[in-house]
Amino acid sequence: MLSYQRKLVSLSFTSTDLPICSMLKTGATLYHKDQYQFHILLHEPAITDREASLPGILPMSPTSAKPRLLWLEVSLSQIIITMQGNGKYCYRHIWEKGVYGICRYWLQNDLLKLHYQLQIRNFTSNLLIQGQPILEYLRLEYELWSQQLQMGNYILELEIHD
């Protein structure tokens, strides 16, 4: 039976060997699908950035901030995160404990009519899910790989507040 509720969530992304750390606190909609299957839908705050340009051809100009939608699919054995909606890029990460998963990025530049897809791998070393009957906490530890090159170790944590 599908049920849902609005909750406050904290989502953090940290590298254990690179100077990367990001944290987001926002409202989310938590969909409880089955006993251990959840979907979490949240909006990442809009980021105002500068549009990439070719030097000497196009001036750098601010782009309008568009919301970014994050969709997390959580089960005991697999986590999937999909980001879409900002118009410049989107991604999908699939993690499964002890397995090499796929991270796929889609990049586009409408001005130059360019569209690219980039795929790298991840290896999930630890996956911890707590809370019953409603998900309360998720911790995902993984490595990113591009062919034979390790691109760092990362921790993704999601905490759902009452």
Q: What burial class does residue 40 get, using C-beta atoms within 10 Å of its C-beta: 0-12 exposed, 13-18 middle, 19+ buried?
A: buried
Cα dihedral across residues 156, 127, 99, 152: positive or negative: positive
pLDDT at 68: 80
- Which pLDDT belongs to residue 101? 94
Domains of the chain: 3-49+61-161 (2.40.128.20)
Model confidence band, residue 87 (pLDDT cutoffs 50, 70, 90): low
3-class secondary structure for the chain? CCEEEEEEEEEEEEECCCCCEEEEEEEEEEEEEECCEEEEEEEECCCCCECCCCCCCCCCCECCCCCEEEEEEEECCEEEEEEECCCCEEEEEEEEECCEEEEEEEEEECCCCEEEEEEEEEEEEEEEEECCCCCCEEEEEEEEEECCEEEEEEEEEEEEEC
Query: What confidence tens digit (pLDDT) does each residue in 52-63 have?
Result: 444 444 444 445
Task: Of 133, 144, 140, give the one whose Cα is nearest residue 158.
Answer: 140
The reported pLDDT for the residue numbered 58 is 42
Q: How do residues 110-159 score in pLDDT, each as one tens digit?
A: 666 777 888 999 999 999 999 878 889 999 999 999 999 999 999 999 99
Whether 126 contacts 139, CB under 8 Å: yes
Residues 81 and 111: their CA atoms lie apart, in Å, by: 28
pLDDT exceeding 70 applies to what percent of the chain?
Answer: 80
Average pLDDT over residues 39-58: 60
pLDDT at position 108 is 78
